[in-house]
Amino acid sequence: MKAKDVLGLAKDRGAVMVDLKFMDFVGLWQHFTIPLAELKEEIFEEGLGFDGSSIRGWAEIHASDMLVMPDATTAVMDPFMKDPTLSLICNIVDPITKEAYGRDPRNIAIKAERYLRSTGIADTAYFGPEAEFFIFDEVRFDSRPNASFYEIGSSEAAWSTGKEEGNRGYKVRYKEGYFPVAPLDSQQDIRTEMCRVLADVGIEVERQHHEVATAGQAEIDFRFNTLVKCADNLSWFKYIVKNVAWRHGKTATFMPKPLFGDNGSGMHTHQSLWKNGKPLFAGDGYAGLSELALYYIGGVLKHARALAALCNPTTNSYKRLVPGFEAPVNLAYSSRNRSASIRIPMYSPSPKAKRLEFRSPDPSCNPYLAFAAQLMAGLDGIENKIDPGDPLDKDIYGLSPEELKDVPKMPGSLDEALDCLRKDHKFLLKGDVFSEDVLETWISLKMDKEVNPVRLRPHPMEFALYFDI
């Protein structure tokens, strides 16, 4: 779609406003809106100015003038605005140099695709995330110098069996939420509405279902796409899930571990490389993989601890990544075995279906940064022929400590992951995809705004453990 086509679409759909969306450094969509009359063809070449000084992780106030550059290929009608509103996803450009802004996550993902093509290894990287989430009835939380608490409300939750008002007894037991029918699954219609709205913005849904945890854990899988387009789609996905839940009087969260004692929300990420329309991961090696695919796995496993800083980027992420529980923390690969951090799905014998599934990431990540980083790790594995070692086809959760001692593990905390990124990031700098500035800013932002604020506050459980000490 070109600029003139966007204007035609807006006219055909009766748009009166245009919403310009872009991704902040941490991973939340930001936006501002202009009347349709202000959308001229030249804006797609010249951009629109805005003040970026208040965007997390971006320029300081002395260098805050920026341009949004709408991407004409992303034009759709926003499904939630009262007045007909055209939506465009934008890239960020420096107004003086006219160069892509280095800390714009979408620009980084675009550079990753460009670097892939420059290597000659492949011309396309496909990504397909499975972003789990929760739909709650309500949530309350606060953190003060003298008090801290959170409380989640869900009529479906196992802890609500004693609720007096409107209780009809059908509650999803802890860890028994995988595939029950109604009335245990109380959110089928909400998820279906999410699927229909996703289709309205051009995202092809493959399936939806209740997930393992109580209290409305859900999964909606949408079809894979190229790296940048998939990150665009995941951004739409989170926006749609949250807003459909909101208009039903509920609230949705992609927080990795909102509940103690039940499953958290992961984002298993399927990926493969193609060239000239042909899949490159299919071969006659282990699990039907090519040598190139095994090298890609070797790169992801080698750099997985550094990847965690971008793919599991919150302190809460590491409440899910705990040895012996639901998330794969042991850095190994296997066919079918879901306890390995990398799994090779075996659903189909078709070469086109051959892919790997990286199971450690979670949906709190910035998709542009996370997908770009995974691709760069895999390409490093191919370029350096990194051997992934032998597959681990046993149930890792059932192995003894002696059997596991030589299997590397994901970091146990965000600050450990950030330290891994400090020590291992040269693979991200190839092709100027990431920069030292981007990574230093990311580490500093995460330490100052997340790690230290959580580290400095007493935890309610500490009162239970230590108040009478």
Question: Which positions are catalytic?
Answer: 51, 130, 132, 211, 219, 268, 338, 357, 359
Q: Which are the contacts of 123, defined by CB distance < 8 A and separation ≥ 6?
A: 116, 117, 274, 275, 276
| Pair of tokens at residue 368 | 């542009």
SS3 state of residue 211: coil
- On the 0-12 / 13-18 / 19+ scale of CB atoms within 10 A, 151 is exposed
For 10-114, strand residue ranges (E) read 17-23, 29-35, 48-51, 65-70, 76-77, 85-93
Give the whole-angstrom CA distance, residue 284 versus residue 286.
7
Adjacent-strand bridge partners of 150:
141
Pairing between strand 267-275 and 124-136? antiparallel
Q: Beta strand pairing status for 85-93 and 17-23?
A: parallel
Alpha helix (H) residue ranges in 346-413: 367-383, 401-404
SS3 content of the chain, % helix, strand, coil (to 5): 35, 20, 40
44: left (phi over 0), alpha (psi -120 to 50) or beta: alpha
What does the block give as tokens for 310?
A: 């971008």
**Contact between residue 219 and residue 132 where contact means Cβ atoms under 8 Å apart:** yes
From residue 38, alpha-carbon distances to 17, 43, 80, 85, 265 in Å are 9, 9, 21, 13, 41
Quickly list H helices, 280-385: 291-311, 317-320, 367-383
Please state, as a whole number, how many other Cβ atoms lie within 10 Å of the Cβ of residue 442.
Answer: 23
